[in-house]
Structures are given as structure tokens and as C-alpha cells.
Chains A and B, each alone.
Chain A
Amino acid sequence: MLLKNRIFLLLILIIFSISTSASAKDTITFRCQEDIIPNVGRTIGADSSSITINTVKFYVQHLRLIRNHEIVWTAPSTFLVDLSDVNSEDISMDTEIKEGDSLCFILGIDSMTCVGGVNGGELDPARAMYWTWQSGYINMKIEGNSPLSNARNHELQFHIGGYKYPYATAREVRLVVPEKSTREVVFSLNNLFNGIDLSTVDHIMSPGEKASTIASKAAAAFLMN
């Protein structure tokens, strides 16, 4: 009887170890190239043209790994990535990432999801990433301040969204995994703000041309280490 119990325990242990090893063969980490310190933010640039950013949040949808034109891994859900949250978890994969693979995702929420009804989990409007005055997800929130901003308290507030033609803001991002990759998807604030005139654009809170431009710049500000 005792032996039977032990065998049973052993069996459970074996099953458990198999299942855990199968669920985490690799991980992906999203981070900001210019680390954002919680409650402080990160200042880029100097003096009168400096930019301090304390919030970078965005949706990552349809995250997938492509090898030789074939999808070898698809994330089970949509992620809400918060680059100012030190506790945000890495994304586990049951596939190993290899050099030359492409990591692809949609930065934002695609229009198919947008036109449907309310969703739960990371897509719940209680995550404060959904507009209330008109329908649509906020694909990306970037907030901070800069002496360049003419807004109250020199604020910067970019809530990038909109899913309708011609100002749809969801962007496909495709990153090639480099040699000796650290599995880090890095977002560069310097690249994002390079070329944006903050004296004329300090707030974006609705769909339109400005939101569309920032969305494209944001998608191009990712790179894989």
C-alpha cells in the first residue's frame, strides 16, 4: 500500500516536471532602452529640450515566432506591456528562439477585435486602455513632460488609438532575432521622439493624422537584442 502511494507520488512529480519544462523553453522580455525608473521616469536629452517620460504602456497582440516563413509559436493571449512596471512578467514560450527567427506582433489592437463587443482579461476596459467618449482601444499610452511642451505643467500625453481608415493605428512589428540574442524586445524613447516637434504636439487623445504618425514612429522604435 505504501509502495503504491510512493509510485503514485513519483508519477505526479514526473508529470509535473514534464509540464513545467514544456511550458517554458524560452522567455521574452519587453523593456525600455532608456530604463524608466518607477515614480521618477526617465529623462532623455538635455536642459531646455529634455523629455521626461514616466509612462509607456502598449498592447502586444498576435505575438508569434516565425521560422522559415512558418509560424512556430503563437502567444495564447494579448499582452498589455507596461515598461514602467518593474514587476511586469516575462512572456514564456514553449518553443526555443533561434537566431534568424522573426518575432512578430501587432503594436495595438487590430480592427477585427475593435469592432466586436467588450472583452475581458487584458482587454477589459477597466484596464484604462479603452476610450470612453468614443469606441476604441488606446493602443499605446506615453506620458511625461518636457520644457518644450506648451501644455499645462509642460505635460506630454500621447494616447494613441483609432482603428478606422485612414487613421488606423495598429502597426505590425517584425523583429529579426540577432546572434546571441538576450531575448529582449527593446523600445527606444530616443528613436520615438526623434523628429517630433513637441512644441506643436503635446497632447494626442483622439484618432487622426497625428496619432497615425506617432503609431508608425513607435512601431519603428522597437529592436531586438
Chain B
Amino acid sequence: MMRNRFLLLICLLLFSAFIDSEFIPFQSPKGWPAPLYDFSKNPLTKDKIALGRSLFYDPNLSANGTISCASCHSPYNSFAHTDHALSHGINDRIGTRNAPPLMNLAWQKTFMWDGAIHHLDFQALAPLTNENEMGSDFPLLISRMNSSNVYNKQFAAAFGDSTVTGERTLKAISQFLLTLVSCNSKYDSVQSNLAEFTAQEYSGLQLFNQHCNSCHTAPLFSSNRFANNGLKPDSILNDHGRSVISGNTSDDYQFDIPSLRNIEYTSPYMHDGRFKRLYQVVQHYTSGIESSTGLSQELKTPIHLTAEQKTDLIAFLLTLSDRRFIFNPEHSDPTIQKLSNNN
């Protein structure tokens, strides 16, 4: 009898260990399209997500130990970078583009303003190794991580053995990034009949549907496409955008159409961060469009809005703010959280 109980206990222990590393199903919000990321190739687990989160916040992944992914992708800015028009890397080096917010990446087809990266798993390679960002040599970084006891332990928990590889590192980072789903804005509550728009927000919605939704399409408020939105090219950056990657001159000055979710938190705006305020963005679309042959078809007919309509439109855009996402403790720096738990 005693022996039986012992066996049962062992079974229970084994079972709970199994539960611990259990796969976490990815939940697509109601009414959203199916995610594009193939989760069968990288099934989410608690330990892999935790590992990815540690990696995301670790400045030791940069060449001089000062810059982490989170340096330019802060959770409190929906993982964008307040006040920095262009990304800011090691040794105060400045990049050539604005760090975009990170959210709902499972639905994103390509990454970067020019779509240079075709799969989320490979995305982190670019900032990790770019000399103006984290400046690391990837093979060297992986071998350095392999001699870190902390990472050996975390990789063992996540992958069954302690070896750090490039594949595992990138898959773990993908896992954390995939959990950054923003779907709890006021807009979403209204969709679920849990809230109502104000008259001003509703007027803004009408204007949005008329002038913006064809590119910034709900519910993701993006469309996985590139467009020339009539920004006058910056003469110093001289950034040709998508055409550098595609090789087609017809893609000149086209950039990724970003999601507008959490736009309240993601200033400055545009691929080069030229606008600090949402009002300037709306002004651009109503009176700042630079005409060219490559200009997006949707913008060839001028958009006219009265001052009141502009305010209404902005009021609607603010309903895309998701405070639960911004302050989700599961998204923040795990080391800081541990410290606060000790207090």
C-alpha cells in the first residue's frame, strides 16, 4: 500500500513536470484573420517564452553590453522608442530608421520598414548584428552565451539540454515576440459590445473608414503592403526603402504600412520619425503630400478635412490604445520584476 502511494506520488510529480513545459496554444482574438506564423515549427512553451523574454531585455547581447532589444523597443511605448526619431545603438551610434512598435507580429508577413526580413525567426539577427544597433558578431555571441551558466540553465529548461545555438536563440526570441498581442483597446471593446464610442470618436471612425482603412485595415490596422505615402525624401538619409530590397525602381520610396494600434504611445511617427505629434501626421495626409509618379494610388485624390474632423479622427485613433498591453507585467523586464517582488 505504501509502495502504491509512492508510485502515485511519482506519477503526480512527473505529470506536473510535464504540465510545466506544456505547450501554450496561441489564441487568435475573435474576428481576427488566422495568424501567418507557423506555430507547428516552433510551438510556444512557458520556458521558451521566458527565455525569449530574458534575451529581449539582456544588454549583454550587444557588442559592449549596453544595448538590449528593449533599449529601442520599450514596453511602455508599445515596444517602440519615445523621443528617438532614429534608432539609437551602441556607442551612441544612430541608425537610419525609426524603431517600429512590436505587436501582433504573428500576423505580419514581412519585417522592417523595407520588408527586408521575410520571417519573424530571422528578424532579431538584423539589430543584433547591425553596427549602428547592437553590433554583435552572431557566431561569437552564440559561443559567448554557451559559456554563460545562466543561459545554459535557461536553455536546458527550454530545450532539454544546455547547448545554446543560433536556432534556439532566435526561436526563443520569436516566442516572446509572438506573445505581444494587443487586442484590448477601446476599439476592441466596442467591437465586442462592451463599450460605446463617443459621438466624436464615432465621427472619427466614419472619417477613418472613408480615408484610412484601405491601407490601415481593421482589425490589425495594417495591410502587409508597402506604399509611398508622399513623404518628401530626406536628403541626408536618402532612403529608397522597398526598392533596395526588391530591386524594382517602381518600389522607390515605398515603406511598410504600419499598424495604427497603440499609436498614442509610438511617437515619433513615419519610417524616419519625422513627426512628433499625431496632429502633424494628419496634417501630412491633408496638406503635406508630395506628389510623384510612385505616390500611392489611395493618396492621389487629396484628402480634405476640417479642423474639427481632424480632431475627431485623432479621437478615434486614440481608441486604439491598449493600456492592458502597455502595462502587462508579463511583457516587462523580468529582472526588474524580480527585484520588485523581493521588496
Contact = CB atoms under 8 A, between A and B. Distances in A.
Given A116-B41, A132-B129, A126 B118 contact: no
B299 to A, nearest CB: 27
A207 B215 CA distance: 29
Contact of B118 (A123, A130, A133, A135): A135
The majority secondary structure among interface residues of chain A is loop
Contacts of B139: 126-128
Given A126-B138, A128-B139, A118 B167 contact: yes
Interface residues of A, number: 20
Interface stretch (B72-80, B119-127, B301-309): B119-127
Contacts of A133: 116, 126, 130
B126 to A, nearest CB: 5
Given A125-B125, A125-B167, A126-B139, A134 B119 contact: no
A130 B167 CA distance: 12
Q: How large is the interface on B (under 10, 10 to 19, 20 to 34, 35 or more residues)?
A: 20 to 34
B178 to A, nearest CB: 12
Given A126-B165, A130-B122, A208-B247, A118 B138 contact: no
Contact of A116 (B119, B126, B245, B247): B119
A208 B119 CA distance: 21
Nearest to B127: A132
Contact of B245 (A118, A119, A120, A134): A134
A120 B172 CA distance: 13
Contacts of B138: 125-126, 128, 132
Contacts of A124: 165-167
Interface in A96-136: 115-120, 123-128, 130, 132-135
B142 A115 contact: no
B139 to A, nearest CB: 5
Interface in B108-159: 116-122, 125-126, 128-130, 138-139, 142
A120 B245 CA distance: 26
A66 to B, nearest CB: 30
Nearest to B128: A132
A135 B170 CA distance: 13
A132 B133 CA distance: 12
Interface string B300-322: 00000000000000000000000
28 contacts: A115-B119, A116-B38, A116-B41, A116-B119, A117-B41, A117-B119, A117-B120, A117-B121, A117-B122, A117-B171, A118-B121, A118-B170, A118-B174, A123-B167, A125-B122, A125-B138, A125-B166, A125-B167, A125-B170, A126-B138, A126-B166, A128-B138, A130-B125, A132-B130, A133-B116, A133-B126, A134-B245, A135-B116
Contacts of B171: 117-118
Given A118-B167, A125-B167, 19 more contacts: A116-B41, A117-B119, A117-B121, A117-B174, A118-B166, A120-B167, A123-B167, A125-B138, A125-B166, A126-B138, A126-B139, A127-B139, A128-B138, A128-B139, A130-B122, A132-B129, A133-B116, A133-B126, A135-B117
A172 B166 CA distance: 28
B42 interface: yes
A104 B322 CA distance: 55
Contact of A120 (B118, B126, B165, B174): B165
Contacts of A130: 122, 125
A129 B138 CA distance: 11
Residue among A119, A126, A128, A208 with most chain B CB within 10 A: A126
A24 B340 CA distance: 59
Interface in B159-178: 165-168, 170-171, 174
B122 A118 contact: yes
Contact of B142 (A117, A126, A134, A207): A126
Contacts of A117: 38, 41-42, 119-122, 171, 174
Sorted from nearest, which 7 A-B pairs have the closest CB atoms? Answer: A126-B166, A118-B121, A120-B167, A134-B116, A117-B121, A135-B118, A126-B142
Interface string B277-309: 000000000000000000000000000000000
Contacts of B41: 116-117
Interface in A183-225: 207-208
A219 B247 CA distance: 24
Interface in B60-117: 116-117
